[in-house]
Amino acid sequence: MGVDKRSFLKQIEPEGLNQVVPDDFPGKVIPGGNGGNIVVSTLDNVINWGRSNSLWPLYFGTSCCAIEMMQTGAPRHDFSRFGFEVARPSARQADLIIIAGTIVNKMAPVLRRLYDQMAEPKYVIAMGACAISGGPFFYNSYSVVKGADHIIPVDVYIPGCPPRPEALLEGMIMLQEKIKTENMSKKVNPIDGFDEGEGKFVK
């Protein structure tokens, strides 16, 4: 018996495909599946496991935090244990950018350009006081950007001046945990709406 799928669904759920969404509904509506979510969420787990354990960091060391970051990569702390194996000098090959140092106004467009060049999905770690808020250069400075999150969306903030390697490792593992909770169908690109001032409050 050949039944058209659309008319069949209309029989069992009259408004199923033409749901009326109120105009003031704040979120984005994602149509519900018919059991496919079990497959998708299992797939999500596998993909997230893979992504979180093979993050390739792009080094963006602009000052003394970079020394601690190098130490984190060196044998004593060795972040390749957690899958941050290959540190890339090229944005095209990286999916995590570690901002280790002061961002000045002259450097800001460079940082934004590097972020835009990275392939999605991409993640950002702001390491140290300068990358978080401008740190010691917050007051009376004409040249320092007061926090890297004025330029690009940041996933993890690591306080310290500079943070110890253990702190950086903690932050990187925290990012891995964040990636492990991701959902492919509900993934929001953090740069969407960022320049309009909405990026910090992604639902």
Partner 1 sequence: MKNEDLQNIINGFGENLEFTTEESEFLNVIVPKEQLHEVCNQLKTNSNLKFDYLYCLTGMDWGTDLGVIYHLESTELKHLIVVKVKTDDRENPTLDSVCDIWRTAEFHEMEVFDFFGIKFNNHPNLKRLFLTPDWDGFPLRKDYVDEANMIVK
User: Which strands form 57-61's sheet, in the order they lie side by side?
Assistant: 57-61, 96-100, 123-127, 156-158
Among 10, 77, 88, 146, binds partner 1 (CB under 8 A): 146
**197 touches partner 1 (CB under 8 A):** no
CA distances 158 to 39, 44, 52, 67, 164, Å, are: 35, 27, 18, 15, 10
Strands 57-61 and 123-127, sheet pairing: unpaired
- Which among 48-56, 141-149, 160-168, 182-190 is the span making contact with partner 1, rule CB under 8 A? 141-149
**110 touches partner 1 (CB under 8 A):** no
**117 touches partner 1 (CB under 8 A):** no
Taking CB under 8 A as the criterion, which residues in 1-30 touch partner 1? Answer: none
Q: Rounded to whole angstroms, how far apart are CA atoms 122 and 112?
A: 13
Nearer to partner 1, 8 or 138 (CB): 138
**112 touches partner 1 (CB under 8 A):** no
Q: Rounded to whole angstroms, how far apart are CA atoms 106 and 39?
A: 47
Nearer to partner 1, 18 or 140 (CB): 140
Closest approach, Cβ 67 to partner 1, in A, equals 24
In 33-152, which ranges are continuous DSSP H helix? 36-52, 65-73, 108-117, 128-133
Which among 89, 66, 88 has a CA at the least distance from the CA of 165? Answer: 66
**183 touches partner 1 (CB under 8 A):** no
Q: How many residues bind partner 1 (CB under 8 A)?
A: 8
Interface residues with partner 1 (CB under 8 A) are: 105, 138-143, 146
